[in-house]
Structure 1
Amino acid sequence: MSMDANSAEEFAVGCLLSIKTILGDEFEGQVITFDRPSNILVLHEGLKSGAGPRRNIRMLKANYIKEFSFLGQAEDSLDLKKCYLDLNTLQSREESAIRQAEIDAERIGVGVTAEAQSIFDALSKTLPVRWDKTVIVVMNEVRVSSPYLSESVTGGTPSANERVRKVLELERKRLQTRGAGQ
């Protein structure tokens, strides 16, 4: 059955569904609840026997459902008193995701061109880099200023300076080749 406006009627508590998402995931689950205002379906996954005492609860925005089929109604309803959330694990995963988002955000230059960001990304593959406003700082000693050419490289030991220049020149050639090919 394809998703449409009337599909929400199929999301009654206790229904067993087989779901395919627009992202290609396929799974089976029992409906715990459906929140119509947010359009979020909460499912208990793992209908196969032998799943053990742990339960996987999935929250899914209903508009991500490509299609689903009704498998039946569960004989035994979910005993929600036995359902629990491991708050420590959830909090740890949240903190880890926030840390990763902060790390990723620091890697994005503010007020720099797409070309400058590409150069930063290329340098970051082999060397430790960070932004200092619009200046790329490599190995905490070599600085690459706009317009991010070999002549824009200053500081650091001669060998570190030369290494940054070499990576910079190779990335500039790659960017020109990619630009010419479009």
Structure 2
Amino acid sequence: MAVSGGDAGESRYKIGSIVGCVTSFGDHFDGEVMAYDSQSNLIVLKTKSNMDKPTFNIQFLNVKNLKSIEVLKEATEVPPALPALNQNKLIKRAEESIFEKQEAIKCQELGVPSHAIKLYHTIKKTLHCRWQHRDMIVLDSVIVAPPYTLESCSSQDGKEGKDLAQVKKIIEKHMRDQQTKSGT
């Protein structure tokens, strides 16, 4: 049974129910109701991701902006209690995210090219690194300076060491991957 957006009562959207929604833009979402707030008319759905992995997307939808909602399967069980959240971990993650965004803004203001920022994120996945003006400092011992190539990569002490070799290996792989993506 289809229900127009905004007309249904809270009981329609029981947590755990499977619903199908069509937005006013024509987008279609099928998913499990994770939450519903009747005051803000917000429904939260867990939908399957387009990836091959068993992952999910979380969709926040305003019920007033939906053409229709259809309850495909009514929840029969009481939803499980939500797990406790580690507040310290959440605060730390938020602070790190804010710091990274501020760092990205500084890089843009300094004119760091986008390919260098991509390289930085690639290196940061495996090694500790930070920006120092327009230079990347990796493991506090390797400098990657503009134009961010193998040749512009050096050790702070001027010696060829394992840290420098590791960084150069990551840069080389990153450059190969970027060439493969661009088809050159």
Query: Could you state the TM-score of these two structures normalised by the residue count of structure 1?
Result: 0.57
Equivalent residue number for residue 153 of structure 1: 153
Q: CA deviation at 1:126?
A: 2.7
Cα 1:91–1:166, aligned 2, differ >3 Å: closer, same or farther? Answer: closer
Question: Which amino acid is the alignment partner of residue 98 of structure 1?
Answer: A
Cα 1:162–1:62, aligned 2, differ >3 Å: closer, same or farther? Answer: same
Equivalent residue number for residue 127 of structure 1: 127
Q: CA deviation at 1:34?
A: 3.9
- Work out whether 1:180 is the aligned partner of 2:183: yes
Q: Deviations over 1:30-88 (max 9, x none)?
A: x66243xxx4259xxxxxxxxxxxxxxxx95335877332989xxxxxxxxxxxxx9x9
Equivalent residue number for residue 101 of structure 2: 105
Q: CA deviation at 1:16?
A: 5.3
Q: Distance in 1 between matches of 2:180 and 2:72?
A: 53
Equivalent residue number for residue 137 of structure 1: 137
Unaligned runs of 5+ in 2: 22-27, 45-58, 75-82
Residue from 28, 32, 43 that aligns with 1:26: 32
Q: Deviations over 1:120-147 (max 9, x none)?
A: 1222233211122321110012110110
Q: Distance in 2 between matches of 1:128 and 1:180?
A: 30
SS of equivalent to 1:110: helix
Q: Distance in 2 between matches of 1:70 and 1:177?
A: 44
Equivalent residue number for residue 47 of structure 1: none
Unaligned runs of 5+ in 1: 43-58, 73-85
Question: What's the Cα RMSD here?
Answer: 4.0
Cα 1:93–1:137, aligned 2, differ >3 Å: closer, same or farther? Answer: closer
Match runs of 1:82-93 below 5 Å: 89=85
Cα 1:168–1:98, aligned 2, differ >3 Å: closer, same or farther? Answer: same
Q: Distance in 1 between matches of 2:149 and 2:181?
A: 18
Equivalent residue number for residue 115 of structure 1: 115
Q: CA deviation at 1:162?
A: 2.8
SS of equivalent to 2:148: coil
